[in-house]
Amino acid sequence: MNASCGYAATDNDTTVVASGGGANIRSGSSTSCTIYSQAGTGDQLDYHCYTLGNDGYTWTYLRNITRGTNGWVRDNLLSDNGSYAPCTALV
């Protein structure tokens, strides 16, 4: 289930990690979606769940606790490959 630009996801994961840095946080699970923020080095990220993007990659919906933003990050840009909990609902 691809997350169109502007969609959020329910919190199905309790994982909180420190970011390795350099990943864009987007409004949906596509590089064509708006960039809301970034996951900077050392930022605390609260994973919610993952979904498959139209590009064939998995994407994690997360909250960047440090910067106070939510959005989608492609999992191969996260040091631990993102959430292991699938998204069950997009809101």
Q: In what order do the strands lie in the sheet with 69-74?
A: 16-18, 44-52, 58-64, 69-74, 23-26, 35-39
pLDDT tens-digit series, residues 46-89: 999 999 998 999 999 999 999 999 999 999 999 899 999 999 98
Structure tokens that stand for 73 in this block: 């990050």
pLDDT tens-digit series, residues 19-43: 988 899 999 999 999 999 999 999 9
Task: Spell out the domains of the chain, with CATH numbers in brackets.
Answer: 1-91 (2.30.30)
Tokens 């969609």 correspond to 7
The verdict on pTM exceeding 0.75 is yes
